[in-house]
């Protein structure tokens, strides 16, 4: 007889435009798991710093301010939400200004320590009563390598630079209806952010040795979701089997 599926911790990493957010939200919603967007946390920290006169070109100013804002993340995949010092940050964290500054802010070790602690607390389910044991999908850049190295499943999404830029510029166009989203400029901005995120000293963007790599270039979003749902179901069943064996 097969065991009841176990609550799992799932890490989904990869560069921008590979489908992390869309996939993670859909997988979490389908399987009744919580969801955490760690990029939104770094963006909220960056937004707060820009609003509070912190010079984001000065790592020592960033470091000194890293423990100041209260960053609160929701974990409902249908309406995650994020706030900084009580102000709703969901919309402004997607601005070009924040996108341009976020890699510099997130490279500062004091920022990473602060946000990594928050992420581990949320993943452990100790933030909200009743969360423990629900399982969670956490998406970002360093979840499988640093934040949750013991995750039950690690997925690393990739896609060609062209596909990623096309997806992102499609989003910019649909947001304001104008055709200003120059594909080449978008691709260049993504490459610059990849380079900054992959080359920083502290916890760079990197595939964990034990992550399953999924190249999404030629896949539809639905195909990627189905692939990850299958991987999560298997990880959950395997974990339940191990737990049952250990209890015997």
Ligand X SMILES: Nc1ncnc2c1ncn2[C@@H]1O[C@H](COP(=O)(O)OP(=O)(O)O)[C@@H](O)[C@H]1O
The annotated binding site for ATP is made up of: 14-22
CB of 18 to ligand X, least distance (A): 4
Secondary structure (DSSP) of 135-190? -EEEEESSIIIII-TT-SEEEEEE--HHHHHHHHHHHHHHHHS-S---HHHHHHHH
Compute the least distance from the CB of residue 13 to ligand CDP, in Å. 7
Residue from 25, 34, 114, 141 touching ligand CDP (CB under 6 A): that is 141
Measured from the CB atom, is 109 or 233 closer to ligand CDP?
A: 109
Kindly state the helix (H) or strand (E) to which residue 91 belongs, with its residue range.
none
Give least dist CB 133 to ligand CDP, A. 24
Residue 219 DSSP symbol: S
Q: Which does 171 bind (CB under 5 to 8 A by kind): ligand CDP, ligand X, none?
A: ligand X
- Tokens 């602060």, located at residue: 114
Q: Which does 102 bind (CB under 5 to 8 A by kind): ligand CDP, ligand X, none?
A: ligand CDP
The least distance separating ligand CDP from the CB of residue 233, rounded to whole angstroms, comes to 25
Contact (Cβ atoms closer than 8 angstroms) between residue 39 and residue 143? no
Q: Please tell me whether residue 167 binds ligand CDP under the rule CB under 6 A.
A: no
Spatial distance between the Cα atoms of 10 and 26, rounded to a whole number of angstroms:
13
CB 207, CB 13: distance < 8 Å: yes
CB 232 within 8 A of CB 238: no
Helix 96-106 to helix 109-123 angle (10° resolution) is: 100
Residues 56/49, Cβ–Cβ less than 8 Å: yes
When CB distances are held under 5 to 8 angstroms depending on the partner's kind, the choice from ligand CDP, ligand X, none that residue 169 binds is none
Would you count residue 193 as binding ligand CDP (CB under 6 A)?
yes
Answer with the entry of ligand X, ligand CDP, none that 219 interacts with (C-beta below 5 to 8 A by kind).
Answer: ligand X
Which residue is nearest to ligand CDP, using beta carbons?
A: 39
Could you list the residues that contact ligand CDP (CB under 6 A)?
A: 16, 38-40, 42-43, 102-103, 106, 140-143, 193, 197
């Amino acid at each position: 007889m097969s065991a009841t599926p176990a609550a799992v911790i799932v890490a989904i990493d990869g560069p921008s435009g590979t489908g992390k957010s869309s996939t993670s939200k859909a997988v979490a919603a389908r399987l009744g798991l919580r969801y955490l967007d760690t990029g939104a946390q770094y963006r909220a920290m960056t937004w707060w710093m820009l609003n509070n006169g912190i010079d984001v070109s000065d790592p020592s100013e960033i470091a000194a301010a890293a423990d100041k804002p209260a960053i609160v993340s929701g974990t409902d995949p249908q309406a995650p939400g994020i706030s900084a010092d009580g102000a709703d940050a969901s919309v402004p964290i997607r601005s070009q200004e924040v996108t341009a500054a976020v890699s510099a802010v997130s490279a500062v070790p004091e920022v990473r320590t602060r946000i990594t602690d928050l992420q581990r607390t949320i993943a452990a389910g100790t933030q909200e009563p009743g969360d423990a044991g629900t399982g969670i999908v956490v998406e970002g850049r360093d979840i499988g390598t640093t934040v949750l190295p013991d995750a039950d499943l690690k997925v690393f999404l990739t896609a060609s630079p062209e596909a990623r830029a096309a997806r992102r510029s499609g989003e910019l166009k649909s947001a304001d209806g104008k055709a200003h989203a120059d594909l080449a400029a978008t691709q260049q901005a993504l490459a610059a952010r990849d380079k900054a995120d992959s080359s920083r000293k502290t916890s760079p963007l990197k595939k964990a040795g034990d992550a399953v790599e999924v190249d999404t270039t030629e896949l539809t979003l639905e195909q990627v979701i189905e692939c990850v749902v299958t991987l999560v179901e298997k990880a959950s069943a395997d974990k339940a089997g191990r737990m049952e064996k250990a209890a015997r």
